[in-house]
Amino acid sequence: MIIYSALKKEFVDDVKDDVLVNKLYQKYQEKIGQTSINEIRAWNNSLLQMRNVIDDNCIPDDSGIAIEFNIPYTSKRVDFIVSGKNEDNKNTAVIIELKQWDKIEPVDNKDGIVKTYLGGGVRETTHPSYQAYTYAKMIEDYNQVVQDQEVKLNPCAYLHNYMKSQDDPIECNIYKFYVDKSPIFAAGEGKMLRDFISKKIKFGDHKETLYQIDNGRLRPSKSLQDCLVSMLNGNQEFLMIDDQKLVYEKALEMGRKSYRDGRKRVLIVEGGSGTGKSVLAINLLVKMTARDAVCAYVTKNAAPRSVYSKKLKGNFKQAVISELFKGSGNFYDAVPNTFDVILCDEAHRLNRKSGMFKNKGENQIKEIINASKFSVFFIDEHQRIHIDDAGSIAEINKFAHLYDAEVVKMDLQSQFRCNGSDGFLAWVDNTLQIRETANFDGFDNYDFEIIDDPNELFKIIKEKNKINNKSRMLAGYCWDWIEDGKNNPDVYDINIGNYNASWNLGSTATWAIDPNSVDQVGCIHTSQGLEFDYVGVIIGNDIGVTDDGKVYTNWHFRAKTDASIKGLKSMEKVNPENAEKIADEIIKNTYRTLLTRGQKGCFVYCVDKKFSDYLKSRLKRSNHGQ
């Protein structure tokens, strides 16, 4: 999706006539949503500079100009693109990352990281050349037309306020690889940038290349489970961009320090659904293991580990798989510092005690910190979906300080699920009334629909699943899991009118990737931590809406077999207010998690027609930008 596109001559005229920023703001409102006054000012300053650069006869008037291109499957945007044809008459584009920085400090011990003034202080961020280079690589990876027609992408960065000095740190040796791939142009080097563009673009293309980039057929997005074998064999499957790269390099730095001095360190990484927490964890597992560190990837939920194990089987020995991937209840009797690194994914799901009867150990967070020199906790407190979920940032901090560990907290913001649609995630949170969001934008780049018939929902998902076995039916846990039919797909647990279906079979922990499992319905416990291309979500009677539009939950409609609310009855007798609060959080977080499992789309059926109508009304409001 491109916010603004024009021919070069039109762009120059829009700047000269002082109408470009208004056009950008209007288009941004239509396609993305609200933006801040600071971003508008940034446009104004940077785009005046870009007009000065390209307002020259050496760059054809019918070249294409794009501002703010949304990279597919992500929430990241390219600042500025100039398109045309090269000397061989092949479509080409120059990708320009614009910065208003005036000073940087190099960071020697981290790849592709610099320090500069951002957000009111000096902070670490990705080097502009690294940023432009990875953005171009992601466009190449995702766009089939760019690959098949060999559209040449030429990344660079323009820091128009930055005065270069001799042997300037921004081009020092530690950044040479990225600067060679993506040159830096600074204040006083506008002519050099113009020459760079004119060498790449000899002829205009009337925006043809921009059309190919924006509308070209997308390659299927990668999923972690599919790339796991390749990653553990040392291949780079996912580029770390922006905040991911910062977390990755910080984790490597902290791991190195703990390896050398033996002091405990804890890194807390907070990020919502689809921000790449699991991808980061596996990338760190690969890198740190390659450096001879004793590492483990840990989750409470068995579903991801079971899927990963099945994917790895035949490529790695079972003993190796078992050492790398562990459950969270394995550390209550661990010797201190057994591991160099423990990477705890979905830390919000950690329990206090371990064992089948919850009678072993003291606290899983404490035990993980005790067992490792360096611990990384990936957490999203909005994904706590069980009464026993005790993982929280406060608890991690408490036990880290108990061990006198150095603690660092970092955030992940970049969105890689739901086609990178921040708008969809904001809509879900707002609509379920989990939190208020500035939800002005629609999500045209994400396939979302409310379906009135569960049979129609199943038909859609079954058809989508024929593509690559990556679409699944999911449901809120409002139907009992019939004990005698746990391994029999002909025993129907879920019956809605003439729609009948079985919960996923109890005999398999790999339902998410098994052939023919599209015929069964998965619950939160078999889908959390995994992702699909498309999901069909059945919303049960445990959530509804009042006449005045207040979303309420009722845990009494949850299945008797649902262990996630076990204990609420007893709690209700003693403290009904607290019981209702916990139940409300569990139910809303459950649906938030289910609704955000789909990379490309989500289709929803509601048992309660009133709640279905409510979702439709919220969808109309969103699409009309209200």
For 412-417, what is the mean pLDDT? 74
Q: What gap in Å lies between CA 314 and CA 479, rounded to an integer?
A: 37
Q: What pLDDT is recorded for position 423?
A: 75
pLDDT digits (tens, 9 = 90+) for 319-330: 888 899 999 999
Q: Looking at the predicted structure, is the pLDDT value of residue 530 above 90? A: no
Q: pLDDT grade, residue 417 (50/70/90)?
A: low
The pLDDT value given to residue 500 = 97
Residue 444 pLDDT > 90: no
Residue-wise pLDDT tens digits, 365-385: 999 999 999 999 999 998 999
Contact 298, 342 (CB under 8 A): yes
Beta-carbon-side half-sphere exposure of residue 555 (alpha carbons within 13 Å): 28
CA distance 417 to 275: 7
Quote the DSSP letter at residue 143. Answer: B
Tens of pLDDT along 232-245? 888 888 888 899 99
> 3-class SS at 311?
helix
At residue 22, the pLDDT reads 86
Mean pLDDT of 72-77: 80
Q: What number of helices (H) and strands (E) belong to the chain?
A: 21, 24
Lowest-pLDDT choice from 47-51, 87-91, 226-230, 568-572? 226-230
Residue-wise pLDDT for 11-63, tens only, equals 999 999 999 988 888 887 777 666 666 677 777 889 999 999 999 999 999 99
Residue 419 confidence (pLDDT) above 50: yes
Cβ 200 vs Cβ 187: under 8 Å: no
**Whether the predicted pLDDT of 270 surpasses 70:** yes
Lowest mean pLDDT among 109-118, 139-148, 488-497: 139-148
Structure-derived torsion over alpha carbons of residues 397, 398, 401, 403, reported in degrees to the nearest 10: -110
* Residue 267 binned pLDDT confidence (cut-offs 50, 70, 90): very high
User: Is 229 or 458 the better-scoring residue by pLDDT?
Assistant: 458
Three-state SS across 73-119?
Answer: CCCCEEEEEEEEECCCCCEEEEEEEEECCCCCEECCCCCCEEEEEEC
If we measure between CA atoms, which residue out of 131, 146, 510 comes closest to residue 302? 510
pLDDT value for 150: 86
**Per-residue pLDDT tens digits for 582-595:** 999 999 999 999 99
- Measured CA to CA, the distance from residue 552 to residue 588 in angstroms comes to 9
Task: CATH number for 224-412: choose from 3.50.50.60, 3.40.50.300, 3.30.1330.60, 3.20.20.70.
Answer: 3.40.50.300
**Residue range 465-493: average pLDDT?**
93
Q: How many CA atoms lie within 13 A of 326 on its CB side?
A: 24
Residue type, 227: C
pLDDT above 60 for 528: yes
Give the whole-angstrom CA distance, residue 83 versus residue 439. 33
Rg of the chain over Cα atoms, rounded to whole angstroms, equals 26
Average of pLDDT values for 102-122?
A: 94
Confidence of residue 440 (pLDDT cuts 50, 70, 90): very low
- Whether the per-residue pLDDT at 626 is higher than 60: the answer is no
| 540 has a pLDDT exceeding 50 | yes
Q: Tokens for 360, please give them.
A: 């072993």
Q: Which residues of 213-234 are buried (b: 16+ CB within 10 A; e: fewer)?
A: bbebeebebbbbbebbbebbee
Q: To the nearest whole number, what is the mean pLDDT of the chain?
A: 91
pLDDT of 441 > 60? The answer is no
Cα 311 to Cα 172: distance, rounded to the nearest angstrom: 42
Q: What is the mean pLDDT of residues 346-355?
A: 94
Res 623: pLDDT: 55
3-state secondary structure at position 419: helix
Residues near 532 by Cβ (< 8 Å), separated by ≥ 6? 470, 471, 472, 512, 597, 598, 599
